[in-house]
Amino acid sequence: MIAKGTFDVTLHPEPPYDDAGGVTLARVRVDKTFTSGPLEATSTVDMFGARTKIPTSAGYVAIERIRGALDGKRGTFVMQHSGSMHGGAMSLTVTIVPDSGTEDLVGIRGSMKIDIKDKQHFYELDYSFG
């Protein structure tokens, strides 16, 4: 099944905790609210990132717990993010952590695409149960 919609983000960056040769490591907490589509939920993302001296190159990993309802099924599940940018070209993989679903969402699996256009965040969640 495919769920599509939008979400809002609130960033809570922390100061960098490591810097070597102009490559900084930092943590960011992100609060999300899924505002349209069949996913009616909030989430908290704990992100660790590396920013390089080249503004168009960076990388991050993150874990996100989503709480709410998906097509009316209530519960939580966890997403795992791995993203990089090289020369401005983005690469992002976001997958549901196996066996992380709770309540009505037990057995959920799949992946999510995230797109940002004109400062608006869009998601496409490709999921199944099994």
7 falls within a domain: yes
- pLDDT over 90 for what percent of the chain? 95
| pLDDT at position 45 | 98
Query: Kindly report the CA angle at 88 between 26 and 25, in degrees rounded to 5?
Result: 10
Give dist(CA 61, CA 56) in Å, integer: 17
Say which CATH number the domain at 104 has.
Answer: 2.40.350.10
Q: Give a three-class secondary structure readout of 41-91.
A: EEEEEEEEEEECCCCCCEEEEEEEEEEEEECCEEEEEEEEEEEEEECCEEE
128 falls within a domain: no
122 falls within a domain: no
Domain count for the chain, please give it: 1
Whether residue 8 has pLDDT greater than 90: yes
Helix/strand/coil percentages in the chain, nearest 5: 0, 75, 25
130 falls within a domain: no
86 falls within a domain: yes
> How many other CB atoms are there within 10 angstroms of residue 36's CB atom?
12
> How many other CB atoms are there within 10 angstroms of residue 77's CB atom?
27
123 falls within a domain: no
* pLDDT one-digit tens code per residue, 55-106: 999 999 999 999 999 999 999 999 999 999 998 899 999 999 999 999 999 9
**β-pairing verdict for 108-117 and 18-20:** unpaired
Domain ranges, residue 80? 2-25+36-42+50-116
31 falls within a domain: no
Give dist(CA 105, CA 2) in Å, integer: 15
129 falls within a domain: no
